[in-house]
Amino acid sequence: MTTRTYDCIPTRRVAFLGLGVMGYPMAGHLARAGHQVTVYNRTASKSIAWCTEYTGATGQNGTLNHATTPRLAAQGAELVFCCVGNDDDLRSVVLGEEGAFAGMAPGAVLVDHTTASANVARELHVAALAAGLNFVDAPVSGGQAGAQNGALTVMCGGDLAAFEAAKPVAMAFSKAFTYLGDSGAGQLAKMVNQICIAGLVQGLAEAIAFGDKAGLDMNLVLDVIGKGAAQSWQMDNRGKTMVADKFDFGFAVDWMRKDLGLVLDEARRNGARLPATALIDQFYADIQQMGGRRWDTSSLIKRLR
């Protein structure tokens, strides 16, 4: 993990729901920033392990706790952060008798970092307002490395006041935390992000496959063209690992297909035409059939070899 410093802000009582590959280090940055953090995870052993790891973390002036339900985790928290798998997972930790909303005090803010649908963001925003609470949809970009390094890009939708209340605390794990509009805007922006990534990775895969067939030294070629107009994050961080046929980095194919499914569902609703995205989604289905469900998204090149 990259060492980073944290802005001096008052200690807050916060909760974090979901300690997966993203949530675990994100919650850790909140602890390192000095906040009083209560965590919840469906597998309780991971919550216990998190508390053990971060007890005594640099800058920790408060307390760390784990809770057996989202409701208990959220009790007394000014801010509740959440990062789970999909729409249904999100509803399961937010709604119902043991959900976070049932434990939150009036005026508290739930910030959801799940990549989910814009519809569920709007649904939970309405439910929050009815309960006297606030909800911000705030999906992230930057992958596992961004979470570990506290350098995520966060795209936010919801009420501006709730966003402003959350931002100083969320900057513990963010390099950018940006307000984009009403409820659902964060999720829609994340869809734009995934459309861009899918196209860039497919283009890079085809370029490397072409260069290999042409007999070029593709590591050298990537060094050269990476200094010109073809440069991208994907080229800088995945180009040479694609050449080396290594695909155990970053964001898994299964998750990309989930995200592209959200994109294509939204496009059917709003009338956007996404022919390339729809085709690349099917290319990722091919990768799944090849046994690459947990390979990272750069594995698109496997179809071309």
What tens digit of pLDDT does each residue of 105-150 get? Answer: 999 999 999 999 999 999 999 999 999 999 999 999 998 999 999 9
Q: Which of 190, 213, 240, 302 is catalytic?
A: 190
Q: Alpha helix (H) ranges present in the chain?
A: 23-32, 44-54, 70-74, 87-94, 100-103, 118-130, 143-149, 160-170, 185-213, 218-225, 233-243, 253-270, 275-289
The per-residue pLDDT for 56 is 77
Measured CA to CA, the distance from residue 18 to residue 41 in angstroms comes to 5
pLDDT band with cut points at 50, 70 and 90 for residue 59: low
- Whether 46 is catalytic is no
pTM for this prediction:
0.93
Task: Give SS3 for 80.
Answer: strand
CATH of domain 189-304: 1.10.1040.10
Measured CA to CA, the distance from residue 43 to residue 211 in angstroms comes to 46
Sorted by sequence, the CB contacts under 8 Å of residue 243 that are 6+ apart come out as: 208, 212, 218, 219, 222
Domain ranges of the chain: 13-182, 189-304
What tens digit of pLDDT does each residue of 217-248 get? Answer: 999 999 999 999 999 999 999 999 999 999 99
Element (H, E) at 15: strand 13-17
Residue among 70, 87, 96, 76 at smallest CA distance from 16? 70
What tens digit of pLDDT does each residue of 161-172 get? Answer: 999 999 999 999
Residue 288 has a CB neighbour count (10 Å cut-off) of 15
67-90: buried (b, 16+ CB within 10 Å) or exposed (e) per residue?
Answer: bebbbbbbbebbbbbbbbbbbebb
Across the chain, mean pLDDT equals 95
Q: What percent of the chain has pLDDT above 70?
A: 97
The per-residue pLDDT for 61 is 56
Measured CA to CA, the distance from residue 26 to residue 124 in angstroms comes to 22
Residue 224 has a CB neighbour count (10 Å cut-off) of 10
Q: Does domain 13-182 have CATH number 3.40.50.720?
A: yes
